[in-house]
Structure 1
């Protein structure tokens, strides 16, 4: 799961204050503060020789900070075949395996052991790496997006289909990243090195999981990805969509399912809070709470490109964020605003403006395609 999603969802858990256990028995402490709880975000797969584990310390819920890096820890990844590897800290809180001979293999079990600089020892439960799936198709379909009971928009909704050749994988997790070719509405230099074609990017910010345990044949169609409405410009030129899909354990599925339920909660006192939101990591030499999950997964990826020619929809010629808006003359900033019209009054003036990046996209977006598009 992408780091920003981890941070967002971990903060949801912190608000509820219900996650903690130890190696020997479950322990639910009275937490007077949400600061200082260890947060673990890690994953090992069958095709990543340089997998990583990220460690943080939580901050107070009402803090404006996100998470604090946990530095100086020792992390060892173990395999049930007796091999292990020590991870190296390459930047604050980021630990990687730099030994290419240690790589995840299907049908083997893996777990991590963490010793923090204050002497606390944490360990994840061993999990088996299940066989990989294949992504057979990525496609878009014309549909409607409901805005409210009286309004809807035409849109393209994107899906993908998967197959499991060995028919033995029950639980899936996936995420996507996308980028698109973005053209300025008019070419006007607003910087020393202007660009008129750029490549914005985005990635999934929600939990995508699927339970295929009830299926005799582990082939699934119409798995959700994202959508593009008719008032957007992402499909006007080329839109590139890449999927990363992972097989996960039943316990990992439950973890993300419970977090997903909490993230969709309205926060009411009458909401049903899942009783089991622990990860697979415990403190082994005390009762220190810990958040997060060490995921053991086989992995596959696939991608496809799309344009408006693939769909019978009239998409907007101009981006939403390039529409004209009105500001008071006192708020005008030539680095942010391009003047379309000025309406003067006895004591003031209204400036009709567009954002400067609409004329020189280098002010907001990258002028080069992201690395995942080039892969």
Structure 2
């Protein structure tokens, strides 16, 4: 009896010691890491019709996660080496600047410079870039890819899109490929109805197209090993099987300067890291912008002068194997309030008919 009482007292004493230790621990609150907001520049001029867009943001500290701050009230000017220039108009809600549709247009062979004067009085200037000419896209095509269902994966049907072109005989050509998908929406506004597992929608007031791009894709190449030869079966994208309808795709073949190619190459290396032992260490990617009022101040992003050739492709998905991964149905009741939604022009939607749209 005495032994059990002694053990009980020892146990209670041990628990009391643990409680005391924990009660004496002060939670560690690390100081918030604050960094000076740095300018980020994202824009280019091309030899295609404008308008051209320059986006200005600033980095935020770690207390504001995944957010860059808009940089409104700046004066943004694009100029060439022949004295032609245009001051860009700031768009609402700010931080986005555009040329006019009938304004300055890029010409291959000319040098272009971007100048920024912020509302705070700081001046930033890009290194001048010669705009290269892009060779034409010779062929744009697709091939069906079907993987049947296995024990651990469901069936998968896609269409791989490829491009063929011819590299010029001169050494030192650099390429970047972008794609854009346009599709007319079933409604300009949709609301999910959980009880019925469908959407209710409101129609668009006019023709409208949803825009899909890959904002994280960096698809580049150079003629270092293929100078003057054909570039064949250059991968562009995979088209998903979400419908039996045709899939409309526009592809841009961009001709870059050497410095622009090097910039995107570093971006590609960083975004492609998998966390392996020999991956490139995370770091900022230097661009071609400099702060002339505060020399040495870091500036991120790139302003490029880019030659472009464009082509389009309709992918016929009616022969897809298996069933498409359909979205939930959309029901448009009548009448609706409002009766329709205006199709606003943005990064993700436009009322402007795509240039090669045929249906």
Q: 1:249: Cα distance to partner?
A: 0.8
109, 112, 117: which one pairs with 1:110? 112
Residue 293 in structure 1 maps to residue 302 in structure 2:
yes
Q: Which runs of structure 2 are paired with 1:54-203 in the superposition (5 Å)?
A: 54-61=55-62, 63-64=64-65, 66-91=67-92, 92-98=94-100, 100=102, 102-143=104-145, 151=153, 153-164=156-167, 170-180=173-183, 190-191=200-201, 201-203=211-213
TM-score, normalised relative to structure 1: 0.67
Counterpart among 344, 354, 358 of residue 372 in structure 1: 354
Structure 2: where are the runs of 5+ without partners?
Answer: 1-32, 188-197, 344-348
Unaligned runs of 5+ in 1: 1-31, 323-355
**Largest Rg, 1 or 2:** 2
Hey, what does 1:281 align to over in structure 2? 289
Alpha-carbon contact 2:171-2:224 (below 8 Å) kept: no
The number of residues matched between the two structures is 300
Give the stretch that moved more between structures: 156-165 or 299-308: 156-165
Q: Which runs of 4+ in 1 moved over 6 A?
A: 145-150, 181-184, 366-370
- Tell whether the 8 Å contact from 2:51 to 2:102 is kept in structure 1 after alignment: yes
Q: Which residue of 2 aligns with 1:228?
A: 239
C-alpha distance in 2 between matches for 1:115 and 1:369: 33
Residue of structure 2 in register with 1:306 after alignment = 315
Q: Secondary structure at the match of 1:305?
A: strand
CA deviation map 1:325-373 (0-9, x unaligned): xxxxxxxxxxxxxxxxxxxxxxxxxxxxxxx53x55999xx99987326
Change (3 A) 1:210 1:114: same
RMSD of aligned Cα (Å): 3.9
Q: Is the 8 A contact 1:132 1:164 kept in 2?
A: no
- 1:208-231 C-alpha deviation (Å, 9 max, x unpaired): 1111233232531212122135xx
Structure 1 residue 83: Cα displacement = 3.0
In the superposition, relative to structure 1, how do residues 167 and 242 fare at CA in structure 2: closer, same or farther (>3 Å)? farther
SS in 2 for 1:254: helix
Preserved contact between residue 85 and residue 99 of structure 1 (Cα < 8 Å): no
CA distance in 2, matches of 1:44, 1:243: 17
Q: Secondary structure at the match of 1:308?
A: coil
